[in-house]
Amino acid sequence: MTRFADFHKRSISDRDGFWAEQAALIDWHKPFEQVCDYSHPPFAKWFVGGQTNLCHNAVDRHLATRADQNALIFVSTETEQERVYSFRELHAEVQRMAACLLDLGVKKGDRVLVYMPMIPEAAFAMLACTRIGAIHSVVFGGFASGSLASRIEDATPTVVVSADAGSRGGKVVAYKPLLDEALRLSSHKPGKVLMVDRGLSPFQRVADRDVDYAPLREKHLKTEVPCVWVDSTHPSYTLYTSGTTGKPKGVQRDTGGYAVALAASMKHIFQGQAGETYFSASDIGWVVGHSYIIYGPLIAGMATIMYEGLPIRPDAGIWWSLVEKYKVSLMFTAPTAVRVLKKHDAALLTKYDLSSLRTLFLAGEPLDEPTAQWIAQGLGKPVIDNYWQTETGWPILTIANGVEKAPTKFGSPGFAMYGYDVKLLDDATGKELTEPNQKGVLVIEGPLPPGCMQTVWRDDERFINTYWKTIPGRLVYSTFDWGIRDADGYYFILGRTDDVINVAGHRLGTREIEESISSHPAVAEVAVVGVADQLKGQVAMAFVVVKDAGSIPDDAAKLKLEGDIMKTVDGQLGAVARPARVRFVTALPKTRSGKLLRRAIQAVCEQRDPGDLTTIEDPSALQQIRDLL
């Protein structure tokens, strides 16, 4: 593997030369003057002086060559709808949405919060924002009022774009009441709410605030809204993600660096060709949806499938039927989804013509070997794992067959991608680990490559303090993941170093869940840990000390309170954050200085050795948890 090794080496040693070449993969309105300005580390500015537009690169620039080719393919097995938009039609719809946003007073640099199910209007809204230089902030539709309110408060949007409802497994999930409650909770009040009415769930309109999309769109059927050329460093979006504290961080992304990074990844990693179809079965509420449902494939001139529904409805062959129907060449999903399919008939994998499909990419959580084997054999296609984060926007570790074909190794996402100067640090000494097979914290030496987060939205200090630390003479970004590198340069990811858990590919902070549970009036104290789960990778487990032990005299009372607490979490954060179980104890294991021993609780739950317990204040607290299990 010398070609990739050289490619990677050059991306670090001749950073500017390397990325200047990659920058030619997108259209620039005004050429950049400087490739990377890293004069104020850890802040990196990419393609300084250049002007471009994400929406132009995703949509407009394809009109000359592929206006009538498929661009957006919407499939809903929830509402039995299917609709294909060509690049020309997508261009028209994005302009209509952009005209509506302008009508509602959105200006360049304003935030627009998008709280929507997986419908085409959500894609139009994202592209319309970047078209006019507004900053979108998509909030996952599975989040409830509390999560939504904290994001509205932080993003301070001018407009919220939403819909009456989503649907999951045939059940309508009303969004509007959750949004109304979030807007009531939030101290920031957006001027307007633009509502897409799918006719799924009747809703109340607030006078002077709520505007229906359909009639406003009618007014703008012919309105032309040109792309606003923005500086390469102009923020394109923020996307909130969980960390150690209860307050989610707004990951802020630029424009030019992101467009270049995605275009490069489509070429070197995913190997997508213009005119082909990409199917990323994720959600626009997550980073995979931003990079590889919307922007990446469209920038590459590919059609992208936006799928609303479960992978097993009407049956577990639905995805493969779409691969056949739309001649999908690349597919992307999370290991959890494959583990769900694995419970169904493997014959469904081969029932359809999959000759168009080249590769299945998986990301978001550890890929276990049985799952990888099952799907690779079942499909008879290569499976490529890739490791990255909301913060980075595109893969840190994988293999790049577009540069040089490389073998995959079970249990490893692959090696460091170009642009990422990946290192492992010893947790205790902070020193770099250079020998193979040593376990350390996976870090990236600054600057982060194009496409990665610029900062935490409106909180530079938090960006610096959360992610960066100095090791002799160098500044490194922490991924908060444990890793090991073997002698061939392949990394193995061993889980998070912080209190982030990964439930069915959804990243959640245990602190957020604890805060939500604490708000229940019966709860005195709570600890939430992630526990290994066969299907979901991890699930959240809550251990609660109640204020009045007499309030749960028997098992029936405990079961009722458990249900009540789960409802609290559902209502505030959403069902994705609901713990699998809430168990009651009389004390939580803590150190003598009062720190919760979450790791020890987690180890006990996973039947592992809890390790050094010399600092524990009351060993019986841990024993209680052991006895419960």
Residue nearest to ligand PRX (CB): 390
| CA torsion through residues 331, 337, 343, 344, sign | negative
Tokens linked to 444:
């990236």
Find out whether 97 and 350 touch, Cβ atoms under 8 Å: no
CB of 64 to ligand PRX, least distance (A): 33
Q: Using alpha carbons only, how large is the chain's radius of gyration in Å?
A: 24
Nearer to ligand PRX, 316 or 504 (CB): 504
CB of 4 to ligand PRX, least distance (A): 19
Nearer to ligand PRX, 255 or 389 (CB): 389
CB of 551 to ligand PRX, least distance (A): 37
Nearer to ligand PRX, 7 or 482 (CB): 482
Helix, strand, or coil here: 56?
helix
Nearer to ligand PRX, 28 or 270 (CB): 270
Nearer to ligand PRX, 287 or 601 (CB): 287
DSSP state of 591: B
Binding site for ligand PRX (CB under 6 A): 241, 287-288, 363-367, 385-390, 413, 479, 481, 493, 496, 502, 507
Q: Which helix (H) or strand (E) is 178 found in, with range?
A: helix 176-185
Nearer to ligand PRX, 104 or 360 (CB): 360
Nearer to ligand PRX, 176 or 511 (CB): 511
Nearer to ligand PRX, 332 or 584 (CB): 332
CB of 480 to ligand PRX, least distance (A): 6
Residue by residue, DSSP assigns 113-162 as EEE--SSHHHHHHHHHHHHHT-EEEE--TT--HHHHHHHHHHH--SEEEE
Find out whether 36 and 22 touch, Cβ atoms under 8 Å: no
CB of 413 to ligand PRX, least distance (A): 4
Cis amide prior to 314 (ω within 30 degrees): yes
Nearer to ligand PRX, 413 or 447 (CB): 413
Q: Which residue has the tokens 């299907």?
A: 535
Nearer to ligand PRX, 243 or 589 (CB): 243
CB of 466 to ligand PRX, least distance (A): 13
| CA torsion through residues 236, 241, 244, 249, sign | positive
Round to whole Å and give the CA distance between 270 and 555: 52
Q: Crossing angle for the helix pair 256-268 and 15-22, nearest 10 degrees?
A: 80
CB of 463 to ligand PRX, least distance (A): 15
Round to whole Å and give the CA distance between 540 and 579: 5
CB of 596 to ligand PRX, least distance (A): 21
CB of 397 to ligand PRX, least distance (A): 7
Where does 21-95 show beta strands of DSSP type E? 34-40, 43-48, 51-52, 70-76, 81-86
Distances in Å between the Cα of 73 and the Cα atoms of 266, 292, 325, 608 are 19, 14, 11, 46
CB of 460 to ligand PRX, least distance (A): 20
Round to whole Å and give the CA distance between 332 and 78: 21
Find out whether 559 and 132 touch, Cβ atoms under 8 Å: no
